[in-house]
Amino acid sequence: MTKAELIEVLVKADDSLTKKQSGQILDTIFGTLQKTIKKDKRFAYPGFGTFTVRKRKARMGIDPRTKEKIKIKASKTVGFKPAKAFKEKL
């Protein structure tokens, strides 16, 4: 699903919302989500799941073009663990 499709779903759910307003709401929600995950290292939405910051260790990899070994730096990523109710609906 794209952002435009999600905006359409919001507009259909509430006729009083315009596409612009729906887009602003989505931007606010996802912006807040990003800030919360960065600050608290976690964001949970009951019935949906939990987003957490995960750390990746430094490791050796292979450059696919040159086949040379390269060192990949340690990094952070976001992991998602779905809630039990969400898993059951899949």
Q: Where are the domains of the chain?
A: 1-40, 41-90
Tell me how far apart the alpha carbons of residues 68 and 28 are, in angstroms, rounded to a whole number. Answer: 43
State residue 24's pLDDT score.
96
CATH class for the domain made up of 41-90: few secondary structures
State residue 60's pLDDT score.
96
Judge whether residue 85 has pLDDT over 90. Answer: yes
State residue 32's pLDDT score.
95
Q: For 2, which DSSP code?
A: -
Q: Over pLDDT 70: what percentage of the chain?
A: 100
Tell me how far apart the alpha carbons of residues 53 and 79 are, in angstroms, rounded to a whole number. Answer: 6
Judge whether residue 62 has pLDDT over 90. Answer: yes
CA 28 to chain centre: 14
CA 87 to chain centre: 17
User: Residue 58 to residues 9, 61, 76: CA-CA distances in angstroms?
Assistant: 41, 10, 11
Residue 30 — very low, low, confident or very high, per pLDDT cuts 50/70/90?
Answer: very high
State residue 27's pLDDT score.
96
Judge whether residue 15 has pLDDT over 90. Answer: no
The pTM of the full predicted model, rounded to 2 decimals, is: 0.76
